[in-house]
Amino acid sequence: MFHRFSTIFFDLLLCYFGSFFFFFFFNFFFRTLLFRIFLRIFFTLYTFLCFFHQSFLFFCIYLGFYFTFFFS
């Protein structure tokens, strides 16, 4: 029980701080207000999805979004 709680807790911390890191990274390069609002909503949803599910699956979805956005 404690092991499962600690795993979820550390998944939440990783996703939370990781989302802020990528948010500030995007914010540095893209300064339009609409794009920043979209990224804030996206990373908030991503953080909660990582908390309620396995983080690796949603990390793969996030990478797919990242590469699709930059190489399209």
| 50 and 8 Cβ atoms separated by less than 8 Å | no
Residue 33 exposed, middle or buried by CB count within 10 Å (0-12, 13-18, 19+): exposed
Rg (alpha carbons) of the chain, rounded to whole number: 13
Residue 72 has pLDDT above 60, yes or no: no
**pLDDT tens digits for 13-61?**
666 666 666 666 666 666 666 666 777 777 777 766 666 666 666 666 6
- Tell me the residue ranges of DSSP E strands in 1-72: none
Q: Alpha-carbon distance 47 to 12, whole Å?
A: 7
Our count of domains for the chain comes to 1
The encoded tokens of residue 47 equal: 């953080």
Residue 12 pLDDT exceeds 70: no
Q: Please give the model's pTM, rounded to 2 decimal places.
A: 0.30
Q: What's the pLDDT score for residue 21? A: 65
